[in-house]
Amino acid sequence: MDLLLDSGRAPGEVLVLTTGEQHPWAAHELSFGEASYWAQQDAGDDVFYAAAAAVDRAAVRPVVVVAVNGGPDAVAATALPLAHKRAGTLLIVCGDPQQINAVLGAGV
């Protein structure tokens, strides 16, 4: 994340999806309720963290980062193509390359 921001990306340009455990920021913000959590996405002024299972609700952003950090392979298999559609310019996938390749059924 630091590299993206240091390279000139504005925080509001970045969506981070996690396939396993929620990012701590998302977990904290969700404690205030779904409405205020999703309103932050709509405001678009900061990095938005969401569960990969909710990718269909996520807005398009120039940069989408997918952290394949656990969870069922089916979540990653569903989320990766949808994340690609949400990424306006750049899609970054982080995680174990063997697991990612197995989920996608390809050599990436």
24: exposed, middle or buried (Cβ count in 10 Å: 0-12, 13-18, 19+): exposed
Predicted structure pTM score = 0.92
Three-state SS for 70? coil
Q: In the predicted model, what is the mean pLDDT of the chain?
A: 93
pLDDT in tens, 18-49: 999 999 999 999 999 999 999 999 999 999 99
60: exposed, middle or buried (Cβ count in 10 Å: 0-12, 13-18, 19+): exposed
pLDDT of 108 higher than 60: no
Per-residue DSSP letter, 71: S
pLDDT at site 102 = 87
* 43/38 Cα distance (integer angstroms): 9
